Amino acid sequence: MNKAERVSFAMKTLDALYPEIPIPLDHKDPYTLLIAVLLSAQSTDVRVNKITPLLFEKADNPYDMVKLSVEQIREIIKPVGLSPMKSKGIHGLSKILIEKHDGEVPADFEALEELPAVGHKTASVVMSQAFGIPAFPVDTHIHRLMYRWGFSNGKNVVQTERDAKRLFPKDAWNRLHLQIIWYGREYSPARGWNIEKDIITQKIGRKSVLNKLN
């Protein structure tokens, strides 16, 4: 298989496995998604989905969020980890959304990345999942699989994102990044990897990765 054929095989397999793609983080609008994604840094979606209902019960919009103190936010979100940084970020970005954006989350990469505690990946998730604007957020699953499949060199997530955007059609980015995340969790995890279940890596995987399993 040449690279174009391998890309096509991966896309067709992912479409067959995940014709309907659930969004991992529970939310109801761009603001609650933004907060959930921020909380998910170095945590799990399962843990975040247990904590966000407690936080959103008190404040599910920036106007109510700024009424809480940073310490109050921190107490609620402690179980997801990095609570000192995340609580300051949540309070700070909520204040900026009110002051600069009329309380709305902007559908703009640059404006999102100017918000406290919001990096490129978080902005990409919000643009993709909240606004439907093509983006390719790279998490650990995507970074791992792009390397295993021979689509990127594994150097860093910046290079992985660049390679994904080059290889995959733009109108498929929003769908594919979620499909790859689910595939990585179910079929090609970092630990407890069973190559017999990982049909895509079996078919198109990088030779150096497959040789380690033999």
Task: Flag whether the pTM goes above 0.75.
Answer: yes
Pick out the chain residues at pLDDT < 50.
none
The catalytic site residues sit at: 121, 139
CATH of domain 3-21+136-213: 1.10.1670.10
Query: DSSP string of 102-168?
Result: TT---S-HHHHHTSTT--HHHHHHHHHHHH--------HHHHHHHHHTTSS-SS-HHHHHHHHHHHS
For residue 88, the model assigns a pLDDT of 98
For residue range 71-129, list pLDDT tens digits in order.
Answer: 999 999 999 999 999 999 999 999 999 999 999 999 999 999 999 999 999 999 999 99
For residue 212, the model assigns a pLDDT of 67
For residue 94, the model assigns a pLDDT of 98
Closest Cα partner for 90 from 11, 37, 43?
37
Rounded CA separation 88/36 (Å): 14
Determine the Cα angle at 119 with ends 61 and 166, to 5°.
Answer: 120
**Alpha-carbon distances, residue 6 vs 23, 67, 122 (angstroms):** 26, 52, 29
For residue 213, the model assigns a pLDDT of 61
Is domain 30-131 in CATH 1.10.760.10, yes or no? no
Domain limits of the chain? 3-21+136-213, 30-131
Tokens of 131: 């606004």
Give me the amino acid identity at 46.
Answer: V
